[in-house]
Amino acid sequence: MDTYITGLEFLRVLFLWICVINIWCRLVQDKVEIKTRSPIEIHASQVYTRAVFQLFSEELTDSLSYMVKPGEDESTVQVVRMNSQESFLRKEYQVSCDLEREEFSCVCKMFEHKGILCSHILRVFVSSTV
């Protein structure tokens, strides 16, 4: 004896499967890719939206191409791009550091413009010299 389902039962099952697939897709899409596994990146992945985290992650990855050198005084450091082949890119950035007030400022003014820390300040954060 063959078993058949009615059109209404089929629509109910189809609707349930669509709901399950929709929930699964949202869970997969909500995960972000952590590239460096640094504590600052892990923390950012938990507090930023996916779009903002992606911008932050790009800056953090870019920060790896810089090195930190002492500045003119003890409250500034020079962040220098290593092995830059692009002649049109700026190679040095001055970052001002007020460690007592925990304030940092870069000449590129990306934080003031976009609200995201620039790769130069992030390099200073992860550098062991400051």
pLDDT in tens, 37-82: 888 898 998 888 888 999 999 999 999 999 999 888 888 999 998 8
Q: Look at residue 117 and tell me if it is in a domain.
A: yes
* Beta carbons of 42 and 60 less than 8 angstroms apart: no
Q: Look at residue 110 and tell me if it is in a domain.
A: yes
Q: Look at residue 32 and tell me if it is in a domain.
A: no
Q: Look at residue 5 and tell me if it is in a domain.
A: no
Residue 113 structural domain: 39-126
Total tally of structural domains belonging to the chain: 1
The pLDDT of residue 87: 62
Q: Look at residue 83 and tell me if it is in a domain.
A: yes
The pLDDT of residue 29: 58
Task: Output 90 or 76, whichever has higher pLDDT.
Answer: 76
31: left (phi over 0), alpha (psi -120 to 50) or beta: beta
Name the least confident of 28-32, 56-60, 101-105, 108-112. 28-32
Q: Look at residue 43 and tell me if it is in a domain.
A: yes
Nearest to 45 by CA among 55, 53, 56, 35: 53
Question: What's phi and psi for 6, nearest 5 deg?
Answer: -75, 165
Q: Look at residue 45 and tell me if it is in a domain.
A: yes
pTM: 0.69
The pLDDT of residue 102: 83
Q: Look at residue 30 and tell me if it is in a domain.
A: no
